[in-house]
Structure 1
Amino acid sequence: MSEKMEQYRIHQEPYYRSTGDEVALYEAAYSVRMPMMLKGPTGCGKTRFVEYMAWKLGRPLITVACNEDMTASDLVGRFLLDAQGTRWQDGPLTLAARHGAICYLDEVVEARQDTTVVIHPLTDNRRMLPLEKKGELVHAHPDFQLVISYNPGYQSLMKDLKQSTKQRFGALDFNYPEHVTETEIVAHETGVNGDVAGKLVSIAERARNLKGHGLDEGISTRMLVYAGSLIAKGVEPLAACRVALVRPITDDPDMRDALDAAVTTYF
């Protein structure tokens, strides 16, 4: 493997707790190079799962955080000017296709639809990427795979994937883990004891019940890890929860009071 790709290789096993048959299903999908779509709420472990699978499969992983200003050139590449004149620089998608990496487009619906169209020829039996500006046709490396993720709860009619895009992918659903599993994850990632981790998970479960009733999004596993990390550093639990769990997800005073009350129930 080229030195260029070595920086994208994951050398240490990422901590990932399986919650079903997603690991086996993903391995089967990779064995036939099926493009995959990971669906689930923010901070529930989609990115960690992709990192874990890239490590398990021994493939480099190139991650792109999609946004509405992202152009097709940001994905495929562009000509740059330097002292020697113009030179072509591959974008992350081209780099992955050329060298056989897994390319992970995170929150893909944030990208404009005219940008996501460039992935179409890579996600059917052609497995190729036309670089129109360069006049080159990149045939995907045999090990290349495309993975996208998004949060279905956030989608509006304005922001959703076209059917012509969705139907090119296999899909795995993700959600927040069961209480016991999530408690283990929080304890492992932060160093707090199981009792504290369990209380944090209970607070999150209460908040998730408020989704759609004043909260756009529940408290994610990622946020629990932040709170647990603060507590492990000696921050008082009420303050840690206020900073890491309550204040980030709502500005509504009544909702904050309700969440603060949930925190004080456990701490």
Structure 2
Amino acid sequence: MNTVQDFDAGTLFAGSASGIMLKGWAESSPFTPQKDPCYRFPAWMADIVAWMACGHDPLYLFGPTGCGKTSCVKQIMHALNYPVYELTGHSRLEFPEMVGHHTVQNGSMHYEYGPLTLAMKQGGIFLLNEIDLLDPSTAAGLNSILDGYPLTIAENGGELVTPHPMFRFVATANSNGGSDHTGLYQGVLRQNMAFMDRFMLVECSYMSEEEELDIVRKHAAGTLDDAALVQMIRYANAVRRLFMGHDAEDMDAAIEVTFSTRTLIRWVLLADMFRRVGKKEPLRQALDSALTFRASHASRMALDELFQRIFG
């Protein structure tokens, strides 16, 4: 049987003891996220560590798309051997999808637990991504769970699920729950104030240039030198500024696509592959496949202009 274990946060994440203890599991489970050997923690991971150490309030991470909210949670939980039960929110998501439903197995009815119930019973993280896409009335149905009360499953004969002491609730979103004032994220809904009041909030952002350089350097494996990688990161940051509605390189434009770190890595890998297969403009053609082909015609023109300004 898996047992709870204390981990020193400093030893686990920085290589030297800090005296800040985090509870995790002695062994991993099938639901424990896999380790990403190229992953680098962002500066705001310290806020998640502080949350893990301080209490059991639910956690709400918000920030621009692709800044690594979900990845950061998963890599921390990998280090703690924590199981993660994940679900992505949407406007039609209903409470039974989180709790569970009846299924037919071998000709008889069987109740199958959903990710929220599994996390509560087993002592894991319930990770609800895109929580600001939920209908506020559906989100409000979580209030008693967020307050630490048991879950009653009426559909399963009134089963009472008492939350395991290791159960934690984590939500990610692009907005802070007050709706999207930028117009960048379709479907984001303003959440109930009483619902949001139950969370500890952490604002997440893209990594610094130095942090991203360290990551993409590992993926490039020497096929692109640092000078080229720095240019690619600066281009990615300029695209992000355009996406957020800020001028980039004196350009007055707004675009509907942006660079996640994941997209940046894809660009690096494709640029190397296209170079090896003899593409005439491997960097430019890799950019098209990694990002530009997803953009509208107007955005493509802006992205092309930006590419010319940075790469010449």
- Category of TM-score, reference length = shorter chain: 0.7 to 0.9
Cα distance in 2 for partners of 1:60, 1:193 equals 38
Aligned twin of 2:83: 60
Question: Post-superposition shift, 1:247?
Answer: 2.3
Question: Post-superposition shift, 1:26?
Answer: 1.8
Aligned twin of 1:260: 304
Tell me, yes or no, if the aligned pair for 1:231 and 1:237 is still in contact at 8 Å: yes
Question: Post-superposition shift, 1:225?
Answer: 1.3
Deviation per residue, 1:167-190 (Å, 9 max, x gap): 111111111111221222222244
Cα distance in 1 for partners of 2:220, 2:95 equals 39
Cα distance in 1 for partners of 2:257, 2:86 equals 24
Among all aligned residue pairs of Structure 1 and Structure 2, give the percentage whose two residues are the same amino acid: 25
What amino acid does structure 1 have at the position aligned with 2:153? L
Question: Post-superposition shift, 1:33?
Answer: 2.0
CA pair 220-13 structure 1, distance change in 2 beyond 3 A:
closer
Aligned twin of 1:133: 155
Q: Check if 1:175 corresponds to 2:220.
A: no
Aligned twin of 1:238: 284
Cα distance in 1 for partners of 2:42, 2:103 equals 45
Tell me, yes or no, if the aligned pair for 2:132 and 2:188 is still in contact at 8 Å: no
Identify which range, 11-20 or 212-221, moves more after superposition. Answer: 11-20
Q: Check if 1:27 corresponds to 2:39.
A: no
Gaps of 5+ in 1: none
Give the match's secondary structure for 2:40: coil
Aligned length: 261
Tell me, yes or no, if the aligned pair for 1:44 and 1:220 is still in contact at 8 Å: yes
Aligned twin of 1:227: 267
Aligned twin of 1:7: 30
Cα distance in 1 for partners of 2:188, 2:35 equals 39
Q: CA RMSD in A?
A: 2.3
Tell me, yes or no, if the aligned pair for 2:146 and 2:198 is still in contact at 8 Å: yes
What amino acid does structure 1 have at the position aligned with 2:83? P
Cα distance in 1 for partners of 2:188, 2:263 equals 28
Q: Check if 1:200 corresponds to 2:232.
A: yes
Deviation per residue, 1:58-109 (Å, 9 max, x gap): 2111111222232211110011123342111100110111100111111112
Tell me, yes or no, if the aligned pair for 2:29 and 2:81 is still in contact at 8 Å: no
The match for 1:161 among 181, 191, 202 is: 191
Which structure has the larger Rg over C-alpha atoms?
2
Deviation per residue, 1:126-146 (Å, 9 max, x gap): 2x2221222122111111101
Greater relative contact order (CA < 8 Å, ≥ 6 in sequence): 1
Identify which range, 38-47 or 103-112, moves more after superposition. Answer: 103-112
Tell me, yes or no, if the aligned pair for 2:256 and 2:299 is still in contact at 8 Å: no
Give the match's secondary structure for 2:166: coil
TM-score, length-scaled by structure 2: 0.76
CA pair 14-72 structure 1, distance change in 2 beyond 3 A:
farther
Cα distance in 2 for partners of 1:138, 1:220 equals 38
Tell me, yes or no, if the aligned pair for 2:91 and 2:187 is still in contact at 8 Å: no
CA pair 132-117 structure 1, distance change in 2 beyond 3 A:
farther
Question: Post-superposition shift, 1:166?
Answer: 1.2
CA pair 15-34 structure 1, distance change in 2 beyond 3 A:
farther
Give the match's secondary structure for 1:9: coil
Give the match's secondary structure for 2:274: coil
CA pair 123-14 structure 1, distance change in 2 beyond 3 A:
farther
